[in-house]
Amino acid sequence: MKSYSPLITLLLAYLIMIAIGQSIPGMWQPVMLVIFYIAIGQALNVFLGMTGYVNFGYVALLGVGAYGMGVALGYYNELGLIPTLILGFILAAILALLVSAIVGGIALRLRGAYFAIATIGVNEGIKYLIMGAKIWGGSEGIVLSGILRKSFGAETMRFLSTTFADAGVIVVAIATGVVTAYILNSRLGYALIALREDEEAAKVMGINVTKYKQIAFMISCVLAGLIGATAWTLKLTYVFPQDVFAINYTVEAIVIVMLGGAGTLLGPLVGGLIYALLKYYLAIAFPGLQLLILAPLLIVVILLFPEGVVGYIAKKARGTRLENFVR
Amino acid sequence: MKKLLVFVLVGMVLFFAGCAQQQPQQATTPAGPKEETLYFGAPISLSGKFAEEGKASLYGMQVAAKWINEHGGVKVGDTTYKIEIKYYDDESKKENVQSLIERLATVDKVKFILAPYSSGLTLAAAPIAEKYQVLLNSHGGASDYIFEQGYYYVVQTLSPASKYQTGFLDMVKKLDPNAKRVALVYEDGEFSRAVHQAAKEYAEELGFEIVYEKTYPAGATDLSPILNELKATNPDVIIGGGHFADGQLLAKQLAELNINVKAISILVAPTFPEFYEALGNKAEGICGPAQWEVGARYTPDVADELGVEWYGPTQDEFLAMYKELAGEDAVPPYQAAEAAAAVLSYAKAIEKAQSLDPAKVREAMNGLKFMCLYGLWQIDPETGKQVGHEMDIIQWQNGEKKIVWPEAAATADPCYPMPTWDEKASGATCGS
Amino acid sequence: MAFVEQLIANLLYGAILGAVYGLATMGLSLIFGVLRIVNVGHGAFIMIGAFTAYWMFTLYGISPVLSLPLAMAAGMIIGVAVYLVVVKRLVDAPELATLLAMFAIGIFIEEAAKQIWGANYVGYSWEIGSISLPFTEIPYTKLVAFISSILIAAAVYVWFRKTKLGKAVRAVVEDREGALTCGIDVNKIYALSFSLGIGLTVLSGVLVTLFTPVGINAYMGGEYTLKAFVIAVLGGLASPWGAFYAGFIFGLIENGSYTLLGLIPGVEPFGLTRFVSFVVLMLVLLLKPTGLLGGE
């Protein structure tokens, strides 16, 4: 199974990060921040990387995932702790699946940039449906810490919002990596890459283009939903519509995928590290000016590595022993 | 190529290790038998959407710390502590806040944290503060629900959201018992909703009649659909708003649609000078709630009269010290005063508890009552919510922001009823 | 009848707002049509126009109408600069690369604007009176915005139809290879279209402030970017005229649906209007994936 070897690099990287976070005091939350960025890149990559289609409504999936968990914990907590959590994950996945089925069903018939721009309304649409129709508290959102404390006790609440939430984010992040590796090696992956290179040719070859696009889209969306459920609802203990449907996360995820290299397994890892750390240090060194500096840097990277850093390295590594570990 | 991979991984490790190195070591001054440094930690929004507010609050904290240090520091037993503020930029982002609270609590070993700006960020900080059992003093998180979650280590220095518009209603009731019809028009966001739900309940208690209530989405560029509807309900008083841009827009379109009422109170926007610059004399007579305003008459004498202790710089001292930090022309906004009050309250509570143990200091805060330039400070022991401090109501009169309520702090009489839009169009101002 | 009156008032306002929206989208559609570049930094250029109007009025008392040509010129210069420095090198790169570059440029402009002009929300008061209708008031400034939008859109239309250069641009939109063989300098057309697109966008920023003269801020563009994208898709994405008509329809839907949604109890109708425009977008895409007025 040599095509799974890049997964070793990925897991190793997570292991190192977790070790750093655990051994150096005060580093745990920053490490979790980096892992969060890697995870949202990774989940977006499943669709964007493989198909070349940009999903501008991406953050909406994190948002509905956050709501899935929030609704379970806020409204159905009398089920008991474990069933509620399971329900939360299921609801997060189902809501993400539902949204992706509807949006994908309509928008995936469009090509390239048309798809990208068509999905830009998704996020606002869902946000205003929730706020306007006053669903699940409307703009007041769901504030969970008090509810959790009452139903499960202060200790459990603390455990849920710290250890459990962090573990959840890590598990989901690793899962997205594994899923990406699996897709890259599966019939689905081959079909998608054929489609990315030349959609017309893929169609002529008898590949059911629409079906594969839809499958990749839904997988990407469900993973995003799970990230929302763990990294936002559980960790922050609240869900506000304006907070979870903030478009900047979509853009950040795209930046991460592009920086690292779309369609590569390690791309989001490298992209996430570069992006999060660059931003972090620029913020320390030039508080308030970090975005002004980050923007030209981004442009330079795009001009130098249009295929992303990992895309570039993988190209260079072709034919060396390292080939198997970079993808 | 393998080298490259190794290089990447090593680089990563170094990056993280660098992070850890960067943090200045906790000052454990072994020298000086009785003088030590005590750090108050603060995640501050120096960039992002709360950058302006964040900077002002940082200056406020530093002024308060400086004043304390110049006036004998904080005495616990026979040790005197000098206060210093240890802060990081949180970029106004919830994810960063959690990292920074952890860093303050574990690496810097800070026991007393000044919460980040805004309710959302304060709520994000609370679980981490609770985890490490450090105190979190909210000076920019107004929403009541933060204090209804059962966090023991979270206390509030500024007035809660539920108090923002109540003073204005009290004022109207006193000035004009016949003004009964209230219309609410506000942004659909968690903060403004909390403010106006509380205002609505309070208005009904006072005997007002709510004739209209609608919200508009954040970022709306045209409020005419709502305002056309509102006009037909013929209200006496309008309360509403949300943040900066929509507050300006609300006033602007009320003028354009020529909707005349006796009094208007808008959240947030009117407290900034840009409000008057943008609207010109159309801003005359418009009121807004403020946590504090230059000119508020909280003085040691007032404290004496009320029988509470005074602590901290007087307003003149505060203004002077603020200018030293922020520049010659700087006038502190209320974010500076509330942040300063939070620092003062920590100092006061630590002295009262005679301990640096957060649990003991939290307990001491329960019975603490003092006045500073920002007003009274007293919390509800159960929830940690601020109950002593009162909101000011400001009103634009003759191009100046005046405090018109509460009467004890007022710098001018309210201009009531406000001039009509037509009168203003021909140049009328409040007091002309 | 209050209901009907309010509906009429909202539709009137919606039409005015829609014309401004439409013009604010034309530049986006033009750039996409010619260069296939998705300008995600669109709103930043609108913001430049808004500040142009604000400063000209505040510093020199210049009426926003006179700022229009100035904004157009400034926008075209900025457009050429951005094209030469960044876009030119990415013309043949994948769509994603240009998209990301435009995003970075947008951030850069916003952050630079914040550094130069501060993070405060500003506004200006240009008072020229208003028309009183029985059911609402319409300030003349908004009418000026409405009429200017239509005139400018018409001027662009004529330019495209009647001038040689305009025809060349249209030829490139329709068939790039064909245009090349006809001896059209495609690179020149690219530079021209890009700068024209940015110029129109900056100019629309002035009109935006005529409609909403307050709340001007470095980050104000985000709202308009989102709306412009939805309108552009409604209008068929590659067609500037389609965008202008779609803007109208969008404005009418946004304001007009308010009155109807107000009949539903227990909801916030204003927030729901945003959801309605999204549903309309999805329906249009479902029935006619090329957009309402696509495939001209």
- Check pLDDT > 90 for residue B323: yes
Range A34-277: architecture per CATH: Orthogonal Bundle (1.10)
C residues 185-224 near A, CB within 8 Å?
Answer: 222
pLDDT over 70 (residue B314): yes
Residue of A nearest to C275 (CA): A125
User: Which of A14, A136, A145, A270 is best to mutate for the B interface (most B CBs within 10 A)?
Assistant: A145
Interchain CB distance below 8 Å, B221 and C212: yes
**Percentage of chain A with pLDDT > 70?**
96
Q: Give the dihedral of Cα atoms C222, C227, C229, C233; nearest 10 deg.
A: 170
Where does the pLDDT of residue C294 fall: very low under 50, low under 70, confident under 90, or very high at 90 and above? low
Give the CATH number, domain containing residue B244. Answer: 3.40.50.2300
Answer whether residue B26 is part of any domain: no
Query: What pLDDT was estimated at residue C282?
Result: 85
B151 vs B13 pLDDT, higher one: B151
**In the prediction, which pLDDT does C114 show?**
87
Tokens found for residue C19: 């014309």
Residue B347 host element (H or E): helix B334-353
Q: In the numeric block, which tokens belong to residue C206?
A: 């002035």
Q: What is the mean pLDDT of chain A?
A: 87
Say if B16 falls within a structural domain: no
Does domain C2-99+137-287 fall under CATH 1.10.3470? My reply is yes
Q: Is the pLDDT of residue B301 over 60?
A: yes
Residue C226 forms contact with A (CB below 8 Å): yes
- 3-state SS track over chain C: CHHHHHHHHHHHHHHHHHHHHHHHHHHHHHHHHHHCCCCCCHHHHHHHHHHHHHHHHHHHCCCHHHHHHHHHHHHHHHHHHHHHHHHHHHCCCCHHHHHHHHHHHHHHHHHHHHHHHCCCCECCCCCCCEEECCCCEEEHHHHHHHHHHHHHHHHHHHHHHHCHHHHHHHHHHHCHHHHHHCCCCHHHHHHHHHHHHHHHHHHHHHHHHHHCCCCECCCCHHHHHHHHHHHHHHCCCCCHHHHHHHHHHHHHHHHHHHHHHCCCCCCCHHHHHHHHHHHHHHHHHHHCCCCCCCCC
Q: What is the pLDDT of residue C173?
A: 82
Residue A121, pLDDT > 90, answer no
Q: Give the helix/strand (H/E) hosting A319.
A: none
Ordered strands of the B181-187 beta sheet: B209-216, B181-187, B237-241, B263-267, B287-290, B392-397, B400-405
Min Cα–Cα distance to chain A from B101, Å: 9
* Tokens describing residue B92: 């106004």
Do B44 and B141 belong to one domain?
Answer: yes
| B199 shares a domain with B346 | no
User: Closest Cα of chain C to A308: distance in Å?
Assistant: 10
Do residues B211 and B337 both lie within one domain?
no
Q: What local confidence, expressed as pLDDT, does residue A192 receive?
A: 86
Are the Cβ atoms of B16 and A162 closer than 8 angstroms?
no
> Is the CB of A16 less than 8 angstroms away from the CB of B126?
no
Residues of A in contact with C229 (CB under 8 A): 56, 117, 120-121
- pLDDT at residue C290 greater than cutoff 80: no
Residues B203 and B280 in one domain: yes
Q: Which of the four pLDDT bands, split at 50, 70 and 90, describes residue B432?
A: low
Chains A & C: contacts with CB separation below 8 Å: 140
CA torsion B125→B127→B129→B130, rounded to 10°?
Answer: 160
Residue A87, pLDDT > 80, answer yes
Token pair 């979509």: residue? A250
- pLDDT above 60 for B162: yes
Rounded to the nearest angstrom, the minimum Cα separation between B231 and chain C is 9
Burial, B303: exposed, middle or buried (Cβ in 10 Å; 0-12, 13-18, 19+)?
A: middle
Chain B: list its partners (3+ Cβ pairs within 8 Å).
A, C
Average predicted confidence (pLDDT) for chain B: 88
- Answer yes or no: do B12 and A321 touch at CB < 8 A: no
Most confident of A142-146, C165-169, C210-214, C266-270: C210-214
Rounded to the nearest angstrom, the minimum Cα separation between B278 and chain A is: 26
Domain chopping of chain A, boundaries: 34-277
* Whether residue B326 has pLDDT greater than 70: yes
Distance of CA C130 to the CA centre of its chain: 25
CA distance A251 to chain B (A): 15
C118 touching A (Cβ < 8 Å): no
Nearest to A121 among C104, C105, C278 (CB): C278
Question: Could you tell me which chains touch chain A, where touching means 3 or more CB pairs under 8 A?
Answer: B, C
Tell if the CB–CB gap between A154 and B98 is shorter than 8 Å: no
Range A291-314 average pLDDT:
83
The arithmetic mean of pLDDT across residues A283-309, rounded, is 79
* Mean pLDDT, range B33-53, rounded to an integer: 84
Residue B3 confidence (pLDDT):
52
- Percentage of residues of chain C with pLDDT beyond 90: 53
Q: What range does the domain containing B349 cover?
A: 36-159+298-377
Stretch among A266-280, B248-262, B332-346, C281-295 having the lowest mean pLDDT: C281-295
State the pLDDT at residue B38: 95
Q: Using the beta-carbon criterion (under 8 Å), do A326 and B189 form an inter-chain contact?
A: no
Nearest to A262 among C40, C96, C103 (CB): C96
d(CA B321, CA B317): 6
pLDDT tens for each residue of A35-59: 999 999 999 999 988 888 888 899 9
- Output the six-digit token pair for A47: 């669709």
Are the Cβ atoms of C2 and B256 closer than 8 angstroms? no
Based on the fold, state whether residues B43 and B154 are members of the same structural domain.
yes
Closest CA to B241 of C215, C17, C21: C215
For residues B60 and B199, state if they share a domain: no
Q: Are residues B333 and B397 in the same domain?
A: no
Q: Is position B204 within any domain?
A: yes
Report yes or no: C138 at the A interface, CB cutoff 8 Å: no
On the question of pLDDT at A2 being above 60, the answer is no
Of A29, A149, A322, the CB nearest to B1: A322
Per CB-CB distance under 8 Å, the chain C contacts of B274 are: 120-123
Beta bridge partners, B289, equal B393
CB environment C225-244: b (16+ within 10 A), e (fewer):
bbbbbbbbbbbbbbbbbbbb
